[in-house]
Amino acid sequence: MKLTVLGKYGPFPKNGGATSSYLLQVANKNILLDVGAGAFSRLLHYIKPEDIDVIILSHFHFDHTSDIGVLIYYFQSLFAKGYTKKPLVFCPEDGGALAQTVIDCPYFDVNLVRGGEISMVEDIDLDFYEMRHPVQSVGVKISHGGKVFAYTGDTNTTVSLDDLFEGSDLVLADGAFLQKDWNENLPHLCVERIVQLCNKYGNKSIISHINPKYSEEDLQKSVENSTCEIAQEGKSYII
């Protein structure tokens, strides 16, 4: 498996950056995890949008879904020329008008998911988990060929995190806060919590959903001497 960070920021990007979006290449499949602001043009560096096999939307906040609209326009232009292959979309149902736009989109094959559901795309396993965020939000564990990747989406502490970290080789995790600004009632985790989870389960994490208010120096300090890395846009990680 190969994970490429297209956008690592939330809730808005730094100058020249993009918000949450990741390309996971597994076997011969291209899986797009969230489609934040700026994701579409970043994706074009790596694949043609028509080569997307699966889109997983963790939830319908705009920093994870902004560019789904322009992706729909792209597929609209393809279908107008006779193209017929629809990407599989997995997303929660609860997401207002934008969710309805995706659900009604004639160019996508949409599967509504919630925590506890399991799906398969050929021989790739997708296990979904309910996360703790102000709107319905799912995390996902993706397994293939003995390798396990997990994505937390947006969340604060919840038992689902243990399920996601346990047995995973790499976890892409929501590190929107540093400990000094964090508490249990916020919508996101903090970097130091993710480091603790990695220590507990002996795995590695790419920490993303970076708030642009933090300096790179402070972020790097928070993962010193750990198995965690702060995500870098344009960087790929082999799992």
Nearer to Zn ion, 12 or 201 (CB): 12
Nearer to Zn ion, 23 or 26 (CB): 23
Does position 127 bind Zn ion by CB under 5 A?
A: no
Q: Binding segment for Zn ion among 60-68, 79-87, 161-169, 228-236 (CB under 5 A)?
A: 60-68
In the complex, least distance from residue 66 CB atom to Zn ion, rounded to whole angstroms: 11
Q: Binding segment for Zn ion among 54-62, 82-90, 124-132, 214-222 (CB under 5 A)?
A: 54-62
In the complex, least distance from residue 5 CB atom to Zn ion, rounded to whole angstroms: 15
Q: What CA dihedral angle connects 116, 121, 123 and 124, to 10 degrees?
A: -60
Q: Binding segment for Zn ion among 63-71, 107-115, 119-127, 196-204 (CB under 5 A)?
A: 63-71
d(Cα 56, Cα 91) in Å, to the nearest integer? 6
Q: Contact, 140 vs 128, CB < 8 A? A: yes
d(Cα 23, Cα 63) in Å, to the nearest integer? 16
Answer for which of 7, 8, 10, 52 binds Zn ion (CB under 5 A) is 10
Q: Contact, 49 vs 75, CB < 8 A? A: yes
Does position 63 bind Zn ion by CB under 5 A?
A: yes
Q: Contact, 92 vs 116, CB < 8 A? A: no
Nearer to Zn ion, 10 or 13 (CB): 10
Show the CA angle centred on residue 97, arms to residues 40 and 76, nearest 5°: 45
In the complex, least distance from residue 96 CB atom to Zn ion, rounded to whole angstroms: 13
Tokens 């995790």, residue? 173
In the complex, least distance from residue 150 CB atom to Zn ion, rounded to whole angstroms: 17
The token pair that represents 155 in the structure block: 């969340």
d(Cα 154, Cα 77) in Å, to the nearest integer? 32
Binders of Zn ion: how many residues, by CB under 5 A?
4
Show the CA angle centred on residue 232, arms to residues 215 and 92, nearest 5°: 105
Q: Binding segment for Zn ion among 99-107, 108-116, 148-156, 218-226 (CB under 5 A)?
A: 148-156
Nearer to Zn ion, 1 or 231 (CB): 231
Q: Binding to Zn ion (CB under 5 A): which residues in 151-170?
A: 154
Instruction: For the beta carbon of residue 22, count every other beta carbon within 10 angstroms.
Output: 25
Nearer to Zn ion, 4 or 152 (CB): 152
Does position 61 bind Zn ion by CB under 5 A?
A: yes
Does position 130 bind Zn ion by CB under 5 A?
A: no
Handedness of CA 209, 211, 37, 23 (dihedral sign): negative
In the complex, least distance from residue 92 CB atom to Zn ion, rounded to whole angstroms: 11
Q: How far is CA 223 from CA 136, 161, 183, 201, in A?
A: 29, 19, 19, 16
Residues of the shown chain interacting with Zn ion in the complex, contacts defined by CB under 5 A: 10, 61, 63, 154
